[in-house]
Chains A and B, each alone.
Chain A
Amino acid sequence: MATVTLNNIRKNYGSLEVVKGVDLEIRDREFIVLVGPSGCGKTTLLRMIAGLETITSGDLAIDGKRVNDVQPDERGLAMVFQSYALYPHMSVADNMGFALRMAGVPKAERQSKVRDAARILQLEPYLDRRPGQLSGGQRQRVAIGRAIVRNPKVFLFDEPLSNLDAALRMQMRIELARLHHELDATMIYVTHDQVEAMTLADRIVVVNGGRIEQVGAPMEIYANPVSTFVAGFIGAPKMNLLAGKLQCTSDAAQAILEDGSAVTLPTRPGLANGDAITIGIRPEALRVTADGSLAGRVTVVEHLGGETLTHIELASGQLATVKTDERAPAKVGQTVRLGVDPRRLHLFGPDGRAVSRRSEALQPG
């Protein structure tokens, strides 16, 4: 059992508030991913959970016990640092066994635990080497091994893959998913990469400016982003976000975009006529059709093999991306019309928050 509970956690550096009241309930054996842009306070949050940073206010509980004032090594956590933070003067085996040595575990037991972890991570041939003699991916595995050996209740990862090249990152991502399955431990993982978040997480926590923006399963967040921030952050390529004004008639609602084109909305949102709204369309929900409501010129076509991205400059100057399978729907320079499936349309109000799709409220006046 290992749950982690954050209750109105705040962090100030002097007068600068970096984490602005975070509430989060992390369940046992959950793989939770904190995702957000650089500088939003993810690392600070993780370091507060680890005990490396004091908590300015709020309560942190592990397994229901308040641990705000418990030393880092007594919280039963293990952390994998972005820089790996291996001890350069120790062999791989000594690196991995260091925590056990500090805890006074006898040598024989220590060695067997190190060997077990090395087997899981395929590090056995490298146990006698120094970290300096390993490749980036191997160092990463040693850092993970150092965490595994301690058999912690909770694993903390701070952007563990950001120093690896693309191919290795993908491989390690799969390995981490396997590891979570094998170890059956609670994992808290920090990243700015939404692909890692989508692929690894049981639940994603989207952080923005020191606050939690949205918590939910990856597909749930993908399908129902609560704000333009989440909508733009989760999903690759980015969701198309087009600003416009709401125009309601008695029987229909339309978004009038900057270039004057009208997009029919599926429902009548509970907003006033003329309110500034943003419509969001996933690139895969946008189609090139002759009778589309939007018009624009194709500027770039990117062939990614299995899929093709067509970037279109709308008449208003806004950019939109269309994702299709192998074949490009149009050539560069061509003028095309874009159609939107109203059911796959996201609608955000003047404050950038999502307008509930089921909201059928009649507008006043």
Chain B
Amino acid sequence: MQRNASTDSIGPMISTRPLLAPSVILLLIWMIVPLALTLWFSMQRYSLLDASAGGFVGFRNYVFLFTDPNLFNALANTIFLVAGVLVASVVIGLACAVALDQQFPGRGIARLLCIAPFFVMPTVSALIWKNLLMHPVNGLFAYISRTLGLPVVDWFAQWPLFSVGVIVAWQWIPFATLILLTSLQSLDRDQVEAARMDGAKGLRLFRFITLPHLARSITIVVMIETIFLLSVFAEIFVTTAGGPGNASTTLPFLIYKVALLDYNVGWASAGGVIAIILANIVAYFLVRTISHNLDR
């Protein structure tokens, strides 16, 4: 049958799927192969120290992990770290964004400085905090405490998880600030003026107009940060190495310890699968709240 080119769109004539296929297939392989390998290894007895050991063990690696108190400690640490950094970065990021949205001399430089930590590599910023700021002897904080005659805090020994959280938050506050600042700038000026005429000023203007306007961006900040915070590693590695004891060992760090310090690939893979499941649970709730928030 002859098609009339002038009336029919060319869309249905060409199947576009084959054109998409290369990228889709590549991404699928990229995702499926490691996942399948992890699943496979998690059911193997596979230790790098013992070449003779091997073979299928079913769920025994999982059973072992779930009976290990280290796992729950690591899970709890992960949740504390992620939640704490999220709260800190949203609250402080919001404050920074509001401050940077005001007119004041030197605003451009202040904005640049406020955003800068985001561009510092995690290892570098962790080293700066560890050696220049939080060090019990050479650190700035210790110097300040001594000058004021207060007891010196050995941050990574006394508050390991909190200290790691501070470093991570320092890196992620700029991200939150950036997103929330752009969102603030997109707030309709007429809307603010209408609210002013309606008698909303200062904190009430913020509470009833600004904050609802920012809800969407806050959700996006929470989602993106969660994805990255669940896999925080370098900061722990550089500062506390998961210690003292297991006090700052999170799930990714536990997997690292099991796989590369104990050379037990089977257990580490099982831990990895648990991390994947955890991430998916979080993702499920996030996508639900976000689709609710974005659906306006």
A residues neighboring B (CB under 8 Å): 50-52, 71-73, 77-79, 81-83, 85-90, 98-99, 102-103, 130, 132, 146, 150
A50 to B194 alpha-carbon distance, docked (Å): 10
Asked if B209 contacts A73 (CB within 8 A), the reply is: no
A78 to B195 CA separation, bound complex (whole angstroms): 11
**Interface members, chain B 182-198 (any A CB < 8 Å):** 188, 190-191, 193-198
Q: Return 5 A-B CB contacts under 8 Å, by A number.
A: A52-B197, A72-B197, A73-B198, A99-B199, A103-B199
Q: Are A73 and B212 in contact (CB under 8 A)?
A: no
Question: Is B188 in contact with A83, judged by CB distance below 8 angstroms?
Answer: yes
Which of chain B's residues have a CB closer than 8 A to the CB of A130? 296
Known contacts being A85-B188, A98-B208, A102-B200, is A79 close to B296, with CB within 8 Å?
no
Minimum CB distance partner of A147 in chain B: B197
Tell me the bound Cα distance from A83 to B201 in angstroms.
21
Contact of A102 among B199, B213, B215, B296 (CB under 8 A): B199
B191 to A78, Cβ gap below 8 A? no
Question: CA of A124 to CA of B125 in the docked complex: distance in angstroms?
Answer: 58
Is the Cβ of A87 less than 8 Å from the Cβ of B199? Answer: no
The answer to whether A73 and B213 touch across the interface, beta carbons within 8 angstroms, is no
Contact, CB under 8 Å: A98 / B198: yes
Query: What's the minimum C-beta distance from B187 to chain A, rounded to whole angstroms?
Result: 11
What is the bound-complex CA distance between A85 and B188, given in angstroms? 8
- Chain B, 269-290, CB within 8 A of any chain A CB: none
CB distance from B71 to the nearest CB of A (A): 42
Q: How close is B210's CB to chain A, nearest CB, in angstroms?
A: 11
Contacts of B215 in A (CB 8 A): 89
Contact A77 B208 (CB under 8 A): no
Tell me which of B188, B204, B209 has the highest count of chain A C-beta atoms within 10 A of its own C-beta. Answer: B188
Q: Is the CB of A102 within 8 A of B204?
A: yes
The residues of B that contact A87 with a CB separation of less than 8 Å are 191, 194-195, 208-209, 212
Please give, as numbers and ranges, the residues of chain A lying within 8 Å of B196 by CB-CB distance. Answer: 52, 72-73
* Minimum Cβ distance to chain B for residue A234 (Å): 29
- With A73-B199, A102-B199, A130-B296 in contact, do A79 and B204 touch (Cβ < 8 Å)? no
Could you tell me if B190 and A83 are in contact, using CB atoms closer than 8 angstroms?
yes
Name which residue of chain A comes closest to B200, CB basis: A102
Are the CB atoms of A98 and B195 closer together than 8 Å?
yes
Residues of A contacting B199 in the complex (Cβ-Cβ under 8 angstroms)? 73, 99, 102-103
CB contacts (< 8 Å) of A50 on chain B: these are: 197
Interface residues on B, range: 10 to 19
CA distance A82 to B193 in the complex (A): 12
Asked if B194 and A79 make an inter-chain contact with CB atoms under 8 angstroms apart, the answer reads yes
Q: Which of B195, B201, B204, B296 contacts A88 (CB 8 A)?
A: B296
Could you say which residues of chain A place their CB within 8 Å of the CB of B200?
Answer: 98, 102
Chain A residues with Cβ below 8 Å from B212 are 87, 89-90
In angstroms, Cα B192 to Cα A52, docked, is 10
Interface residues of B in 207-229 (CB under 8 A from A): 208-209, 212-213, 215
Interface residue ranges, B against A (CB under 8 Å): 188, 190-191, 193-201, 204, 208-209, 212-213, 215, 296
Contact present for B193 and A85 (CB under 8 Å)? yes
- Complex interface: chain A residues within 8 A of B197 (CB): 50-52, 72-73, 77-79, 99
Give A109 Cβ to nearest chain B Cβ, in Å: 16
Additional pairs, 5, CB under 8 Å, beyond known A73-B199, A90-B212, A146-B194: A72-B193, A79-B193, A81-B193, A87-B195, A89-B215
Q: Among B190, B201, B208, B213, which residue has its beta carbon within 8 angstroms of that of A85?
A: B190
Question: In whole Å, how far is B290's beta carbon from the nearest beta carbon of chain A?
Answer: 16
User: Chain A residues with Cβ under 8 A from B204's Cβ?
Assistant: 102
- A73→B200 CA distance, assembly (Å): 8
Residue of chain B at shortest CB distance from A80: B194
Closest 8 CB pairs between A and B? A85-B190, A73-B199, A102-B199, A99-B198, A89-B212, A85-B194, A81-B190, A72-B197
**Which residue of the partner chain A has the closest CB to B205?**
A102
Across the interface, which residues of B come within 8 angstroms of A89, CB to CB?
Answer: 212-213, 215, 296
Chain A hits for B213, CB < 8 A: 88-89
Per the bound structure, the CA–CA distance linking A183 and B193 in Å amounts to: 24
A146 cross-chain contacts in B, Cβ below 8 A? 194, 198
Asked whether, in the complex, the Cβ of B296 is within 8 Å of the Cβ of A52, the reply is no
The residue in chain A whose Cβ has the minimal distance to the Cβ of B198 is A99
B228 to chain A, nearest CB (A): 28
Return B202 CB to nearest CB of chain A, in Å.
12
> Please, how many angstroms separate the alpha-carbon atoms of A51 and B204 in the complex?
19
A78 to B198, CA, bound (A): 8
A86 contact set on B, CB distance < 8 A = 191, 194
Least Cβ–Cβ distance between B204 and chain A, in angstroms: 7
Q: Which residues of B contact A150 (CB under 8 A)?
A: 198
CA distance A103 to B201 in the complex (A): 11
Residues of B within 8 A of A79 (CB): 193-194, 197
**Would you give the shortest CB distance from B117 to chain A, in whole angstroms?**
32
Closest beta carbon of chain A to B91's beta carbon, Å: 21
B191:A85 contact, CB within 8 angstroms: yes
The docked-state distance in angstroms from the alpha carbon of A28 to that of B197 is 21
Give Cα A96–Cα B200 distance, bound, in whole angstroms.
14
CA distance A232 to B296 in the complex (A): 46
Residues on B with C-beta less than 8 A from A132 are 296
- Min CB distance A90 to B, Å, is 8
